[in-house]
Chain A
Amino acid sequence: MAGKPKLHYFDARGRMEAIRWLLAAAGVEFEEKLIESSEDLDKLRYVLSSFLLSKDGSLVFQQVPMVEIDGMKLVQTRAILNYIATKYDLYGKDMKERALIDMYTEGVADLGEMIMLLPLCPPDQKNTKLTLIQERATNRYLPAFENVLKSHRQDYLVGNKLSKADIHLVELLYYVEELDPSLLANFPLLKGLKTRVSNLPAVKKFLQPGSQRKLPGGEKSLERARKIFKF
Chain B
Amino acid sequence: MAGKPKLHYFNGRGRMECIRWLLAAAGVEFEEKFIEQPEDLDKLRNDGSLMFQQVPMVEIDGMKLVQTRAILNYIATKYNLYGKDMKERALIDMYSEGVEDLGEMIMHLPLCPPDQKDAKIAQIKERTTNRYFPAFEKVLKNHGQDYLVGNKLSKADIHLVELLYYVEELDPSLLANFPLLKQIQLYPPRQGRRVARSWAPVTAQTTLGTIFFGREQPADR
Q: Which residues of A contact B53 (CB under 8 A)?
A: 140
Binds B, one of A33-41, A74-82, A170-178, A206-214: A74-82
Q: Which residues of A contact B91 (CB under 8 A)?
A: 72, 79
Q: Mark A89-121, 1 if CB is under 8 A from B, else 0.
A: 000000110111011011100100010000000
Q: Which residues of chain B (98-136) have a CB below 8 Å from chain A?
A: 98, 101, 130-132, 134-135
Is B69 part of the binding interface, using a Cβ–Cβ cutoff of 8 Å?
Answer: yes
* B interface with A by C-beta (< 8 Å): 51-53, 61, 63, 65-71, 73-74, 77-78, 86-87, 89-91, 93-94, 96-98, 101, 130-132, 134-135, 138, 219-220
Q: Which residue of B lies closest to A114 (CB)?
A: B220
Q: Is B131 in contact with A87, judged by CB distance below 8 angstroms?
A: no
List, sorted by A's number, 5 A–B pairs whose CB atoms are closer than 8 Å: A55-B134, A60-B98, A95-B78, A99-B70, A144-B52
Is A195 part of the binding interface, using a Cβ–Cβ cutoff of 8 Å?
Answer: no
Using A60-B94, A60-B135, A95-B74 as known contacts, say yes or no to A103 and B51 having CB atoms under 8 A apart: yes
Q: Which residues of B contact A55 (CB under 8 A)?
A: 130, 134
Q: Which residues of B contact A132 (CB under 8 A)?
A: 219-220
Q: Is A83 in contact with B67, judged by CB distance below 8 angstroms?
A: no
Q: Is B52 in contact with A74, judged by CB distance below 8 angstroms?
A: no
Using A76-B98, A78-B97, A106-B70 as known contacts, say yes or no to A99 and B90 having CB atoms under 8 A apart: no
Closest 7 CB pairs of A and B: A79-B93, A102-B70, A106-B67, A76-B97, A79-B94, A103-B70, A83-B90
- Chain A's nearest CB lies how many Å from the CB of B72? 9
Q: Which residues of A contact B97 (CB under 8 A)?
A: 76-79
Q: Is A72 in contact with B101, judged by CB distance below 8 angstroms?
A: no
- Chain A's nearest CB lies how many Å from the CB of B48? 9
- Chain A's nearest CB lies how many Å from the CB of B28? 15
Instruction: State the CA gap A74–B97 with chains docked (Å).
Output: 12
Q: Which residues of chain A (21-49) have a CB below 8 Å from chain B?
A: none
Instruction: State the CA gap A74–B92 with chains docked (Å).
Output: 11
Q: Is B94 in contact with A87, judged by CB distance below 8 angstroms?
A: no
Instruction: State the CA gap A70–B78 with chains docked (Å).
Output: 26
Partner of B63 from A75, A99, A114 at Cβ < 8 Å: A99
Q: Is B89 in contact with A110, judged by CB distance below 8 angstroms?
A: no
Q: Which residues of A contact B138 (CB under 8 A)?
A: 56
- Chain A's nearest CB lies how many Å from the CB of B75? 10
Q: Is B93 in contact with A103, judged by CB distance below 8 angstroms?
A: no
Q: Is A103 in contact with B89, judged by CB distance below 8 angstroms?
A: no
Instruction: State the CA gap A74–B96 with chains docked (Å).
Output: 13
* A interface with B by C-beta (< 8 Å): 55-56, 60-62, 70, 72, 74-80, 82-83, 86-87, 95-96, 98-100, 102-103, 105-107, 110, 114, 129, 132, 140-141, 144
Q: Which residues of B contact A114 (CB under 8 A)?
A: 220
What 9 new A-B contacts, CB under 8 Å, besides A83-B89, A106-B70, A114-B220? A60-B98, A74-B90, A77-B97, A78-B97, A79-B97, A103-B65, A103-B66, A106-B68, A107-B51
Q: Is B69 in contact with A141, judged by CB distance below 8 angstroms?
A: no
Q: Is B90 in contact with A102, judged by CB distance below 8 angstroms?
A: no
Q: Which residues of A contact B77 (CB under 8 A)?
A: 95, 98
Using A61-B132, A82-B89, A96-B61 as known contacts, say yes or no to A110 and B52 having CB atoms under 8 A apart: yes
Partner of B94 from A76, A98, A102 at Cβ < 8 Å: A76
Using A78-B93, A102-B67 as known contacts, say yes or no to A61 and B135 having CB atoms under 8 A apart: yes
Best-surrounded residue of A78, A96, A103 (most CB of chain B within 10 A): A103
Q: Is B52 in contact with A102, judged by CB distance below 8 angstroms?
A: no
Instruction: State the CA gap A55–B133 with chains docked (Å).
Output: 13
Instruction: State the CA gap A107–B221 with chains docked (Å).
Output: 12
Q: Which residues of B contact A78 (CB under 8 A)?
A: 69, 93, 97
Q: Is A76 in contact with B66, judged by CB distance below 8 angstroms?
A: no
Q: Which residues of A contact B130 (CB under 8 A)?
A: 55
Instruction: State the CA gap A105–B52 with chains docked (Å).
Output: 12
Partner of B87 from A56, A72, A75, A98 at Cβ < 8 Å: A72
Instruction: State the CA gap A221–B90 with chains docked (Å).
Output: 30
Using A55-B134, A62-B131, A110-B52 as known contacts, say yes or no to A102 and B69 having CB atoms under 8 A apart: yes
